Chains A and B, each alone.
Chain A
Amino acid sequence: MEVAPGEIHAVLGENGAGKSTLMKIVAGVVQADAGTILWNGAPVQIPTPAAARRLGIGMVHQHFSLFESISVTENIAVALDGKFDLARTRRQIIETASRYGLPVDPDRLLHHLSVGERQRVEILRALLQTPQLLILDEPTSVLTPQAVESLFAVLRRVADEGCAILYISHKLDEIRTLCHRATVLRGGRVVGTVDPTEQSAAELAHMMVGTAVPPICHDPPVGAGDRTPILELAGLSARADDPFGTDLEDVALSLHEGEILGIAGISGNGQSELLSILSGERVLTDADMIRLDGKPIADLGAAARRRLGLGYIPEERLGRGAVPTMSLAENYLLTQDDSVKHGLIDRSILRDQTSAIIERFDVKCSGPGATARSLSGGNLQKFIVGREISLAPKLLIVAQPSWGVDIAAARFIRQTLIDLSRAGTAVLVISEELDELFEIADRLMVLYQGRLSPVRERSQIGLMMAGA
């Protein structure tokens, strides 16, 4: 593939298609086994990220590499080559920020900054090195629609000045609005280079996945009537355990069987606090704060709540939803202990149960003995979803259901959640992905700074996420 000065070039592909590996080779993080890189027409070796920076290649990673406890200026100054000069760096930040329309206060401490602001710091840091090529790895995965718009404006300005941009993403609509060309990767190979404006999103998806993706089917929910809600929170307030956490204030909601309630919002606004309180990983003293099918449960632990019919699919698949180094069978045992007789595990029953989940949810793996970390994100998520669904829960809580999951698996998981709700389960989805919530949720609320909004129209949600 090639990228020209002033061009915004999309690198498109599913998870595991090789996008990140390719970009890491260009940025000097990983070495290629074979092949050549031509830079301004001449072959180059890029053995280290520092060498890439010297050539003029800057990269903004998907996961920010910033220090929480120091200021914006200090964060940028430590990353720059050359003399450590805070006053000069500060001047450069203000100058560059105003040139590209990136409002950032250079003196604020990083932990006060929102996710969108942090990303601006990352981009500023890359721009201060005056790159000829800027690589952005899934930059919009954590941004509100408004923040995405202003990011695009910045990127267009950067490109107009002659900088080439490689834009990694799997969000097809964004690529079609922003990018001049798109190179599609699948299974570590380039499938083709196209003009994204001339292709429909479905055609691009087809190139990425290799097969056509069927749309989600969505029946209207069964009427709630005036039955008891499955989940009811009334005036739930709780201080965060973590000093950098968000306190929850007067959170109230009710969720009925057969419906999907979506909670939108950017992580860090009380999402993790609300989830740990709902799941029982954190126990409250006042039992009445949470009611499950009418029963007060806020004082019960996670295992007791699960026995009452609460299933939970956490955001962190590896390390929380599953133990990375343990087999799928052992991971099945985390939440399902019906293979335990007299305190001893019956391995053959466990294997059969695990195999049944693998088969029913089409989990691609070597079998029940495969370790959790050997599975791709999408397949592990399918396994965890299957495990929790096989508990036949009354209430299923799902955090970021398709985070880091490929298109086909994401679609499968979303359809599974809809089918589950239509069969009578109450489903609560907490997600940052608005497209996903709009696709599956019957009702939507927003969690912002520890407070939950009333139910709103979808057009208003984006503004509320930004705090407007």
Chain B
Amino acid sequence: MIHLSIEKRPAPSPLMRIGAPLIAVGVTLLVGIVLALVLGLDPLILLRVLFVDPLSSANGISEWLLKASPLILIALGLTIGFRANIWNIGAEGMFTIGAIAAALVALRFGEGAAIWVLPAMALAGMLGGMAWAAIPAFLKTKANTSEILVTLMLNYVAALLLSYLINGPMRDPNGFNYPQTANFGPAALLPSLVDGLRVNISILFTLALAGLTWVFLTKSFLGFKMRVGGIAPAAAGYAGFSESQSVWLGLLAGGAASGLAGMMEAAGPLGQLIPVLSPGYGFAAIIVAFIGRLTVPGIVLGGLLLALLYLGGEQAQMTLNLPASLTRSIEGALLFFLLAADGLTQFRVRLRRS
């Protein structure tokens, strides 16, 4: 009789470390093709609409970068925590609080053309996200609560807080009772990168922060200490690396990045606060971080891939009349296959005869 057996590899396969995400992307494409056939579509047309059409114009590329920027930025921040085994899944809430904090500055000071308004908004966004992240950090270090649950639940608190503010204190007085704030003044809007296109200078900051994160993760002693705490807590205790420092830093980095992304969204394509600020960037960034294998170059590529999937999904809704949940399904399938393919770095499948 022949049977399959799964064996632990003596050492993680370096080939599979790179191969696993590619396998996951390949299998996800297959699922997309099957999905298309089930829906009665020509798979080639679906793939073209999803992945080729969005990039066939300057405007498409502008939109692509505009969406990739927050995904990459949030994933970078989350990765600092993930490497230390700190599972922050509250980026969506931190993004929202960051946007609210930036909007407070914009609405209070944005009328004049002062040059410091945008930096102040960025600072407020980061501080807002960090304040939201400080709650799970405090609870974890003082009361040993699970940061997974606390960050997850705070997402809903943040969403309700936004809803309260734009229906109440922050509602645009001249807005015909729509639940939204007034439009930000011109000084509170991020300048665009190319005239006539929506892509703005936020992508440059994201790239600069990617460089900074890369240095932190690969070169800094602090990054090393956090990594040891994530892989081998007993060794970190033996070496005397502080666990609470890792928790605080891991969560605050995610909070700062998410809050800044929230500010960039509010001061960029939105220009005001509306009931739904993000199409799920905070959750999609978790996928980006894992597709990128928690490395900076991987995250940049992963962010571009997921942003493309978002655009393609919109395109498919418009031209093929497909439901919006299609994109989410493909996104979910991608993470699912990625985690499954990840097993191949540590394990191998063998055929055995007995």
Binding site for B on A (CB under 8 A): 47, 279-281, 301-306, 312, 314, 316, 319-326, 330, 333-335, 337, 340, 343-345, 371, 374
- In contact, A303 and B239 (Cβ under 8 angstroms): yes
Taking the complex as formed, is B11 at the interface, i.e. its CB lies under 8 A from any CB of chain A?
yes
Taking the complex as formed, is B260 at the interface, i.e. its CB lies under 8 A from any CB of chain A?
no
Q: A47-B354, A316-B234, A319-B232 are in contact. List 12 more A-B contacts (CB 8 A).
A: A281-B237, A281-B240, A302-B237, A303-B239, A303-B241, A314-B238, A320-B234, A322-B235, A334-B238, A334-B239, A335-B239, A343-B221
- In contact, A333 and B224 (Cβ under 8 angstroms): yes
Residues on A with beta carbons closer than 8 Å to the beta carbon of B232: 319-320, 323-324
- Sort A-B residue pairs by CB-CB distance and give the 5 closest, nearest first: A303-B240, A302-B240, A334-B239, A320-B234, A323-B232
A281 contact from B219, B231, B238, Cβ within 8 A: B238
- In contact, A344 and B231 (Cβ under 8 angstroms): no
- In contact, A302 and B238 (Cβ under 8 angstroms): yes
Cα A319 to Cα B235 in complex, Å, equals 6
Interface residues on B, range: 20 to 34
Q: How far is the CB of A48 from chain B (nearest CB, A)?
A: 10
Taking the complex as formed, is B120 at the interface, i.e. its CB lies under 8 A from any CB of chain A?
no
Residue of A nearest to B232 (CB): A323
- In contact, A340 and B221 (Cβ under 8 angstroms): yes
Residues on B with beta carbons closer than 8 Å to the beta carbon of A344: 215, 219-221
- In contact, A326 and B219 (Cβ under 8 angstroms): no
Binding site for A on B (CB under 8 A): 11-12, 215, 219-222, 224, 228, 231-232, 234-235, 237-242, 354
Cα A380 to Cα B240 in complex, Å, equals 20
- In contact, B240 and A323 (Cβ under 8 angstroms): no
- In contact, B235 and A321 (Cβ under 8 angstroms): yes
Residues on A with beta carbons closer than 8 Å to the beta carbon of B224: 330, 333, 345
Contact status of A345 and B240, CB under 8 A, knowing A321-B235, A323-B228, A371-B11: no
A interface SS class: loop
- In contact, A319 and B234 (Cβ under 8 angstroms): yes
Cα A209 to Cα B221 in complex, Å, equals 41
Residue of B nearest to A346 (CB): B219
- In contact, B221 and A337 (Cβ under 8 angstroms): yes
Residues on B with beta carbons closer than 8 Å to the beta carbon of A345: 219-221, 224
Cα A319 to Cα B228 in complex, Å, equals 10
Q: How far is the CB of B140 from chain A (nearest CB, A)?
A: 19
- In contact, B238 and A320 (Cβ under 8 angstroms): yes
Interface centre among A305, A319, A374 (most CB of B within 10 A): A319
- In contact, B220 and A306 (Cβ under 8 angstroms): no
Q: How far is the CB of A39 from chain B (nearest CB, A)?
A: 19
B11 contact from A319, A320, A326, A374, Cβ within 8 A: A374
Query: Could you jot down 14 A-B contacts, CB within 8 Å?
Result: A280-B240, A303-B239, A303-B241, A305-B240, A312-B238, A320-B237, A323-B228, A330-B224, A334-B235, A340-B221, A345-B220, A345-B221, A371-B11, A374-B11
Interface centre among B12, B220, B232 (most CB of A within 10 A): B232
Contact status of A306 and B240, CB under 8 A, knowing A316-B234, A319-B232, A320-B235: yes
Residues on B with beta carbons closer than 8 Å to the beta carbon of A305: 240
Residues on B with beta carbons closer than 8 Å to the beta carbon of A314: 238
Residues on B with beta carbons closer than 8 Å to the beta carbon of A323: 228, 231-232, 235
Residues on B with beta carbons closer than 8 Å to the beta carbon of A302: 237-240
Cα A303 to Cα B234 in complex, Å, equals 14
Contact status of A326 and B231, CB under 8 A, knowing A47-B354, A302-B240: yes
